[in-house]
Structure 1
Amino acid sequence: MRYRTLAGIAMAATLLYGGAASATLLDLNGYTGELEFKFANYDSFTSTTLAPGVQNFGVVEVTSIQNPTTGANIWVQGQGGQYLSAVFDGITVTSITPTSSGFVTTNSGGTFQLWLDSANFDPSQGTSGYTAAGGGCAVGGLCYNGITNTGGIDLLNFNLVPGTTLDPTNTFDATVSSTTLPISGHAEGFADITGGADASEFGTGGFSTLLGSADIHTLDDFCTNGQAGCAGPTTSDWEQFSQDPVYAIGVTPVTPVPEPTSLALLGAALLGFGAWVQHRQQHRG
């Protein structure tokens, strides 16, 4: 089976904000509460065939941040001269297990860097944007022209970690159904913040896993790029594209609410970046 048929993750990730409202470097005009990050995701793979050892990498453009309850924009791309972008790599398929309706995959690794820049990057560079970044940047690395080489701020770094299953090597677990149209599925994982300028505000370890605790919890729905109900544009030689989350959850889990307009635009990789929902504490004193 080709990786191209496994398009379309929309990731809803939750994390706990542990600092004062004024501590974050992102301009949210004093807002505190849950946040949902809207995005466009461009990614590719180290192979076109789904098999153990295949890795996913790409870049992410955050287009807006919203109040998930009201849908009101709290931040939009360019507000205050700020742009949020991310690079990710190293998400590696470790096993594929057939089921009666499809298959289950386990994965290891996965590293993300979220950058705060003063200008937007150009995703139409495709994978050539890696080498254009200079400094020995290789295709599929944690670097990209216009994101990591413009003097911006490395805001948050985080790694996917085990805990969604009892397997101590499984950092992301995905179940795929080939009996639906489009082909669809669900995936789940956890992540720990490892660095970045805002790491101290977000690295709270606020989520219980089957193996301990984590800073971020991810829940994902995905579907097949190009099929009815799941089609989105591609840019340059990127293999996949996705835009906006299918759903988001708050710190207190609520029933996921699909976004039909977003569903029609899905088309990301097996492990795209996704939407974040962030809970920020009120400033104390």
Structure 2
Amino acid sequence: MADTVLARTGMIETPVVTIKGVSIGTGQPKIIVPITAKTHAEVLAGLAGLAEEDTIDLIELRVDHLDIALDFGAVAALTREAAEIVPSKPLLVTFRTKAEGGMTAIDDEAYGRFYATVLQEGKADLIDVELVRDETIIRQIITAAHRTGAYVVLSNHDFAGTAPVDELITRLQRMQDLGADIIKIATMPKDAGDLLRLLQATWEMYSRYATCPMITMAMAGTGVISRLSGELFGSCATFGMVGEASAPGQVPLPRLHSILTLIHEALAPRS
């Protein structure tokens, strides 16, 4: 497992997770690009096309898009092949359930078996685990992941709206309490007020309570600003689009990298 350290940003000590030389939680937000291909061959082709793209920090394999999503052994084998194609980039393996905006439905017991199989037989630097699952299964997955050296992104996706600030912070703190290495929350804003609420919750969590790196975003067009401004508010990574988007509001990779760099340079201390 990679080291977790504290980085000082202004007056705030922020946790940093470093995997394959990628430090998540410090500096410019890291760019994660999802692979949303439907077949084994399409996944490998997509990975080959991204392997040498230096503006990509991490690659996410969205298993729920696959036609073999429920064949856990086949998915585990695919993760091993994927890791060989992109050996220098951290691989995040995600089964986004239909209940949280994904493409494939799966019950809690099978969800636990899926991640157990991937961790035992496959290869993942990080896995994404949803907060709204059976708590016993969540804890079992986290324990198994840490035993194999994988990091856990504990996540929550609300496509119905944006909760009050206190509730968003409560969810993020709950993720920390469960042992997440990185915490993530995504909401669906109905207006600019919802977006501001998400950004306020991000800043308050980051500046007061965070003990691990955090990823937050508001979805769709209204939420695009949240995908760009993470370095200012405390979100350590964002998702960029190459081909098909995996969630509403994702920004194409070249434009995303350019804007993140612009903001990073603007925030850099002046000598």
Normalising by structure 1, report the TM-score. Answer: 0.31
Normalising by structure 2, report the TM-score. Answer: 0.33
Greater share of helix: 2
